[in-house]
Structure 1
Amino acid sequence: MTKKVESDQKKLILVIDDDENVNRILKTALEGEGYDVMCALGVDEAIAYIEVRRPDLIICDIMMPEKDGHDFLKELRGRPAFSDIKVIMLTALSDFENIRKTVSAGVFDYLTKPIESSKLFGVIRNAFNEFYEW
């Protein structure tokens, strides 16, 4: 069992997925780990949230209607004030071309659904350089 080393301020994670169930599940799980969580159902909603409150980390799906995760990365990286926010792609796509395209766009990590919560939490802790006591 791990014990989280507390920090002064909760980290904010933005989850972007067009599936409300995925957002709800991730929000519940991440809040259980001590994070603040915002959820967006698409790229435009996510950009609007980011302009109001800058997240510390973004978890984004690729396959979404209208604008996809690749479009989101282009928009995010094109905004100097937000271009340094770490992004974890969490998607059902596991083909080489999507992985190559996404990783070359500068994501922190590329994870495929379904994913075990322990693996996701480990990648998030790594992104935040958080240390845990065993």
Structure 2
Amino acid sequence: MDSKQHSILVIDDEERVFDVIEGLLLREGYQLTYAASGPAAIQQMDSLQPDVILLDVMMPQMDGIEVCRQIKANPNWKHIPIIIVTALTSKEDLARSLDAGADDFISKPINSLELRARVRSMLRIKIQYDALAATLRLRTLNLFDAFLS
């Protein structure tokens, strides 16, 4: 893709799920970070600035749907792709996740090929978004410079 090491934030109340994901993505060279709850993840978002978020739905305190809503409601974070990772498989759960702003959905138990493919897909989207945002910033600066000249 590109030479930057991509960061992935895994939000799940079960640390063993993080261990599984870490094992499945080990050879991909991603920087993985673990948050044990939605509030803990939200608190770290500005400092972590993840490229992709893998988010469990069923968590105490704040479920993944609400975490997704809060992340997508923040203008600084709404562009970060979120993949819901859950044992829930009903169409209603899928619809609720997508309505909350999730970009993709993967069911537990996690298939390694599917996980890697979905993460790569979301990274492509994030890279395109970042490139577009950089182009728009540059155009704005050029317009501003031209206005001042």
TM-score higher than 0.5: yes
Q: Do residues 73 (structure 1) and 80 (structure 2) align?
A: no
8 Å Cα contact 1:30-1:36 kept in structure 2: no
1:38-95 Cα offsets, whole Å, 9 max, x none, are: 0101001111221212000000000000101011011101211001110000000011
What is the deviation of 1:129? 2.2
Write the distance in 2 (CA, Å) between the matches of 1:116 and 1:96. Answer: 19
Higher helix share: 2
> Where in structure 2 are there 5+ consecutive unaligned residues?
126-149
Write the distance in 1 (CA, Å) between the matches of 2:39 and 2:61. Answer: 10
Q: Do residues 97 (structure 1) and 97 (structure 2) align?
A: no
Q: Which residue of 1 aligns with 2:24?
A: 29
Write the distance in 2 (CA, Å) between the matches of 1:46 and 1:96. Answer: 26
Q: Which residue of 1 aligns with 2:34?
A: 39
Write the distance in 2 (CA, Å) between the matches of 1:101 and 1:56. Answer: 23
Write the distance in 2 (CA, Å) between the matches of 1:127 and 1:115. Answer: 17
> Where in structure 1 are there 5+ consecutive unaligned residues?
none
Q: Report the number of matched residues.
A: 125
SS of corresponding position for 1:125: helix
Write the distance in 1 (CA, Å) between the matches of 2:110 and 2:18. Answer: 14
2:6 to 7, 11, 18: 11
Structure of larger gyration radius:
2
Runs of 4+ in 1 over 3 A off after TM superposition: none
TM-score by length of 2: 0.79
Change (3 A) 1:31 1:50: farther
Higher strand share: 1
SS of corresponding position for 1:129: helix
1:50 to 16, 38, 45: 45
The root-mean-square deviation of aligned C-alpha atoms, in Å, is 1.4
Q: Which protein, 1 or 2, shows the higher relative CO under an 8 Å CA cutoff with sep ≥ 6?
A: 1
